[in-house]
Amino acid sequence: MAKNYEHEEIGGINIIAAGTTFTGDIISAGDSRIDGTLKGNITSNSKIYIGKNGVVEGNIKCHSIEIEGKAVADIIAIESLTLKASATLTGNIRISKIAIEPGANFVGSCIMQTSPQISDGSNEQ
């Protein structure tokens, strides 16, 4: 029997596992989890999670993001950014809500606004 793909959910969970280095940009409709190293940009309509050993070097545009590892990135998050105690973030952020646990390290500027827009990047700094 042929499998019907019309009714399946678009976008799943994307994972870059520990010990993996990925170079390139990711555009995704689904959630993404980074436990390895990503050298590139991420654009997602969903949540991005950077694990304790995860590293991202590039810009991030998403619905929400939680960081336990390290990011050197400018971030635009429509909903929220959470920096866990082990997180290190270097870059500028534009977000709606932010939570920073004691022990987290953030170097950059923060603009808080209701529903920041994710654009195609043509007018981004």
pLDDT digit string, tens, across residues 72-109: 999 999 999 999 999 999 999 999 999 999 999 999 99
pTM above 0.85, yes or no: no
Is 120 exposed, middle or buried, given 0-12, 13-18 or 19+ CB atoms closer than 10 A? exposed
Provide the token pair at 46.
Answer: 């969903």
pLDDT higher than 80, residue 110 = yes
Region 104-124: mean pLDDT is 75
Between 116 and 69, whose confidence is greater?
69
DSSP string spanning 1-63?
A: -----TTSPS---EEE-TT-EEES-EEESS-EEESSEEES-EEESSEEEE-TT-EEES-EEEE
**Best CA proximity match to 118, nearest among 82, 56, 80, 75:** 75
